[in-house]
């Protein structure tokens, strides 16, 4: 069989293609971005004309994937964990409508917040929506699981949640491929009202959803990934979920015959699975990446005084990413430390790239806003958030995608003036446009600076839906042409840009300043490509 050396993200993408994927939908977000990038660069996907363009945000991606499923074909949507919050409306309701073609929703969690605002655990969403959830422990398992995820989705007519974490997404391993299967044919739902959630239909479908969720826990496609391996030691049994099982095996070895181990990689699972382990052992240690989802369930299921160790009692740290050393410490095993990190690669504070247009935007804004003092600038999520750090120290909020504009509205409502929002072009079309519409309708006294670098820079330079459209969008939303300005953030334009920002901050109404300059990274790459093709 053919083998490839793949990232976890790439293993998922390759599996989806081999499982007959017809449509891939996503918005860039670390650590999930490489799934779409792999499919976009796939020769096979190109030859088959698999749909694979970026979406405006995670909600539109989720709903487009549901539409592909409605038409009977297999679809996948991928996002980082906070993206699932954006897609939650469509995701939760897709469990109610059910699906037609198989639909897999990949959510990549980021424990330890390497590139995220929080540390949420997507398994909660799986339980909340009452859909099957797969959580692979390594790259090969991720590849195999995608096939079962599509089949489970089609068998139960439910979307399937596929939860991974950063370390699995971004580490490589050899993956053995299966024979590819063909794409599904176009076919509409048998029930013409399946996707119509009128209350009378939704009530009926909710009963069906509850029944399916109870049934799915006994399905062989899920249960084959959850297995119990007994051991001779009756003092401590271990439950290891997803990639935590990999970390455990690194410590105790595949051939361990002493410690009873229950591996859990799919949800929901039957109660008897837990009792196979707990009936044999005096204490149980739960190892899971993210929140204590299983540990909390375990306490509710047993309620018999059994000692349960894990994140809740402090045996495992309550927050942060797991690794083999943390697992070894929780088992009382010696912890091996590697070589000292060379000074050359030690952690350094992040900063703007040399030649980045965002830095010129903030240099002008800092000068313009100086008379008003601190506390007037609301930022969004992107490279420009680095302006929170010295030497800029220029922004006062960064909460979620699009929140810069709406928080500026609220602060203006409270009487703060000037109230300035700074948002990137991709984030503006992701979630900022609706906030600007609110501002126009309310005639809020805010100044919105769209720092336009014509790409989604923070995740590596993916396509921005805003490129070439920002001015038209803002005017279409209703921004007055008299308070709509285009500037170029270059050092030579510094004084001129300060004057534009000053003037618009003094205006009592909605003003928009679009500061356009191509991302230095994508510009460099583009010029290299142009030279190579010349």
Residue 45, pLDDT score: 97
Interior angle at CA 345, CA 341 and CA 349, nearest 5: 115
Q: pLDDT tens across 339-379, in order?
A: 887 877 777 778 899 999 999 999 999 999 999 999 999 99
pLDDT digits (tens, 9 = 90+) for 167-180: 999 999 999 999 99
Q: Is the pLDDT of residue 303 over 60?
A: no
* pLDDT per position as a tens digit, 480-498: 999 999 999 999 999 999 9
Strands 133-134 and 266-267 come out as antiparallel
| Sheet order of strands, 484-487 included | 377-379, 420-424, 447-452, 511-516, 484-487
Lowest mean pLDDT among 20-24, 303-307, 515-519: 303-307
State residue 512's pLDDT score. Answer: 98
pLDDT digits (tens, 9 = 90+) for 40-98: 999 999 999 999 999 999 999 999 999 999 999 999 999 999 999 999 999 999 999 99
Which residues lie closer than 8 Å to 116 by C-beta, 6 or more apart?
30, 80, 81, 82, 110
Are 20 and 74 in contact, with CB atoms under 8 Å apart?
Answer: yes
Please state, rounded to an integer, the average pLDDT across all residues of the chain: 94
Euclidean distance between CA atoms 27 and 60, whole angstroms: 9
**Contact criterion met (CB below 8 Å) for 199 and 222:** no
Please state, in angstroms and rounded to a whole number, the distance separating the CA atoms of residues 303 and 291.
20
CA distance 362 to 381: 15
Contact 81, 122 (CB under 8 A): yes
Please classify residue 283 by burial: count the beta carbons closer than 10 Å to its beta carbon, then call 0-12 exposed, 13-18 middle and 19+ buried.
Answer: middle
pLDDT at residue 412 tops 70: yes
* 251 Cβ neighbours under 8 A, 6+ residues apart: 324, 327, 328, 331, 333
Contacts of 162 (CB under 8 A, 6+ apart): 12, 104, 105, 106, 107, 133, 134, 145, 146, 149
pTM: 0.91
Q: Cα separation of 65 and 50, whole Å?
A: 12
R_g (Cα) of the chain, nearest Å: 25
Residues 450-476 have a mean pLDDT of 93
Rounded to an integer, what distance in angstroms lies between the CA atom of residue 484 and that of residue 486? 7
- Is beta strand 227-229 parallel, antiparallel or unpaired with respect to 261-264? antiparallel
Number of residues assigned to the chain: 534
Q: For residue 267, count CB atoms less than 10 angstroms from its CB and return exposed for 0-12, middle for 13-18, buried for 19 or more.
A: buried
pLDDT for 350 equals: 81
Q: Which residues contact 269 (CB under 8 A, 6 or more apart)?
A: 217, 222, 223, 226
């Amino acid at each position: 069989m053919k083998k490839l050396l793949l990232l976890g993200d790439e293993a998922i993408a390759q599996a989806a293609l081999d499982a007959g994927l017809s449509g891939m939908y996503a918005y860039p977000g670390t650590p999930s971005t490489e799934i779409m990038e792999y499919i976009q660069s796939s020769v096979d996907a190109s030859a088959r004309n698999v749909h694979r363009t970026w979406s405006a945000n995670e909600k539109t991606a989720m709903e487009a994937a549901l539409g592909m499923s409605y038409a009977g074909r297999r679809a996948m949507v991928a996002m980082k964990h906070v993206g699932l919050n954006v897609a939650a409306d469509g995701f939760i309701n897709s469990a109610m409508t059910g699906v037609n073609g198989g639909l897999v929703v990949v959510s990549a969690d980021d424990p330890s917040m390497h590139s995220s605002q929080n540390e949420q655990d997507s398994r909660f969403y799986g339980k909340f929506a009452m859909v099957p959830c797969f959580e692979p422990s390594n790259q090969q398992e991720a590849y195999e699981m995608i096939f079962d995820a599509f089949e489970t989705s089609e068998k139960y007519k439910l979307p399937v949640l596929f939860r991974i974490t950063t370390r699995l997404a971004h580490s490589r391993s050899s993956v053995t491929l299966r024979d590819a299967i063909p794409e599904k044919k176009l076919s509409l739902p048998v029930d013409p009202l399946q996707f119509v959630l009128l209350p009378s239909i939704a009530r009926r479908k909710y009963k069906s959803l509850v029944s399916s969720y109870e049934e799915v826990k006994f399905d062989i496609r899920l249960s084959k990934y959850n297995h119990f391996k007994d051991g001779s030691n009756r003092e401590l049994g271990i439950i290891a979920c997803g990639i935590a099982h990999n970390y455990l095996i690194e410590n105790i070895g595949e051939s361990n015959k002493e410690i009873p181990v229950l591996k859990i990689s799919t949800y929901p699972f039957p109660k008897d699975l837990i009792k196979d382990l707990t009936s044999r052992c005096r204490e149980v240690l739960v190892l899971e990446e993210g929140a204590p989802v299983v540990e909390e369930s375990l306490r509710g299921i047993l309620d018999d005084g059994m000692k349960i160790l894990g994140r809740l009692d402090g045996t495992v740290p309550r927050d942060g990413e797991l690794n083999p050393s943390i697992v070894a410490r929780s088992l009382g095993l010696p912890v091996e430390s590697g070589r000292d990190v060379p000074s050359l690669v030690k952690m350094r504070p992040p900063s703007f790239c040399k030649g980045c247009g965002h830095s010129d935007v903030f240099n002008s804004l800092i000068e313009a806003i100086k008379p008003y003092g601190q506390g007037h600038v609301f930022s969004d999520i992107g490279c420009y958030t680095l302006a929170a750090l010295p030497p800029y120290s220029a922004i006062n909020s960064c909460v979620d995608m699009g929140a810069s504009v709406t928080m500026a509205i609220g602060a203006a409502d409270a009487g703060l003036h000037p109230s300035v929002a700074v948002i990137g072009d991709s984030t503006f079309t992701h979630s900022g446009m609706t906030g600007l519409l609110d501002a126009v309708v309310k005639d809020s006294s805010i100044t919105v600076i769209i720092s336009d670098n014509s790409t989604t820079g923070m995740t590596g330079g993916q396509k921005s839906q805003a490129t070439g459209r920002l001015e038209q969008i803002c005017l279409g939303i209703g921004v007055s042409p008299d308070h709509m300005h285009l500037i170029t953030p270059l050092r030579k334009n510094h004084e001129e840009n300060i004057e534009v920002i000053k003037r618009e901050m003094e205006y009592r109404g909605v003003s928009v300043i679009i500061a356009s300059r191509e991302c230095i990274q994508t510009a460099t790459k583009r010029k290299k490509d142009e030279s190579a093709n010349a």
